[in-house]
C-alpha cells in the first residue's frame, strides 16, 4: 500500500505541488481582496453617514435662512408701505409761508411734489440698503 502511495506521488508529485501552489496563491489573493473589500465597505458606510448628516444640516440652515428672509421681507414691506403713505399724504415743507405774495401756486406745488417724490425715492432706497445690510448680517450669522 505504501508503495502505491509513494508511486502515486512520484508520478504525479509535480502536478500536485503545482496545484497546491495555485490554491495557495488564490487563497492569498482572496484573503487580501476580502480584507480590502471589507475595509472599503466600512469606509462607504462611514461616508454615507457623513453625507446624511451634512444633508440634514444643510436642510436646517436652508429653513433658517428662509425664515430670516421671510421675516425681513415682511418688515421691509411694512416699512415701505408706511414710507409711501407718509410721502403720499404730502410732507409739509417748513419755511414756506401759507400765503405768498405772488401767485405761483402751480410752480410751488410742482416743486413740492417733485421734492416729495425725490424724498420718497431717497427714503425707499435708504430703507432698501439698510434692509439688505440687515439681511446679509443675519444670513451670515446662521451656522
Q: Name, in order, each residue with C-beta under 8 angstroms of 135's C-beta and a sequence gap of 6 or more.
A: 68, 69, 72
Q: For the whole model, what pTM was predicted?
A: 0.57
- Least Cα distance to 70 among 139, 1, 130, 122 occurs for 139
Give the C-alpha separation, 122 to 130, whole Å.
12
Query: What pLDDT, on the 0 to 100 scale, is given for residue 39?
Result: 95
Read off the pLDDT of residues 100-140 as tens digits, 9 standing for 90 and up. 555 555 565 677 777 888 888 999 999 999 999 999 999 99
- Cα separation, 133 vs 90, in Å, equals 29
Percent of the chain with pLDDT over 70: 79
- Higher-scoring residue by pLDDT: 49, 143: 49
Judged against a pLDDT cut of 80, whether residue 38 lies above it is answered with yes
Axis crossing angle, helix 105-141 with helix 2-88, rounded to the nearest 10: 160
Task: Assess whether pLDDT exceeds 70 at residue 34.
Answer: yes
* Lookup: cell for 26: 488564490
Amino acid at each position: 500500500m505504501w508503495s502505491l502511495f509513494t508511486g502515486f506521488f512520484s508520478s504525479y508529485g509535480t502536478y500536485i505541488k503545482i496545484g497546491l501552489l495555485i490554491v495557495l496563491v488564490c487563497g492569498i489573493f482572496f484573503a487580501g481582496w476580502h480584507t480590502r473589500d471589507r475595509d472599503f465597505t466600512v469606509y462607504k458606510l462611514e461616508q454615507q453617514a457623513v453625507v446624511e448628516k451634512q444633508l440634514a444640516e444643510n436642510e436646517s440652515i436652508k429653513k433658517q435662512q428662509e425664515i430670516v428672509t421671510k421675516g425681513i421681507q415682511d418688515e421691509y414691506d411694512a416699512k415701505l408701505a408706511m414710507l409711501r403713505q407718509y410721502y403720499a399724504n404730502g410732507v409739509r415743507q417748513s419755511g414756506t409761508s401759507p400765503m405768498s405774495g405772488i401767485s405761483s401756486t402751480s410752480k410751488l406745488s410742482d416743486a413740492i411734489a417733485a421734492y416729495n417724490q425725490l424724498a420718497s425715492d431717497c427714503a425707499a432706497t435708504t430703507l432698501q440698503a439698510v434692509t439688505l445690510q440687515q439681511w446679509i448680517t443675519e444670513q451670515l450669522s446662521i451656522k
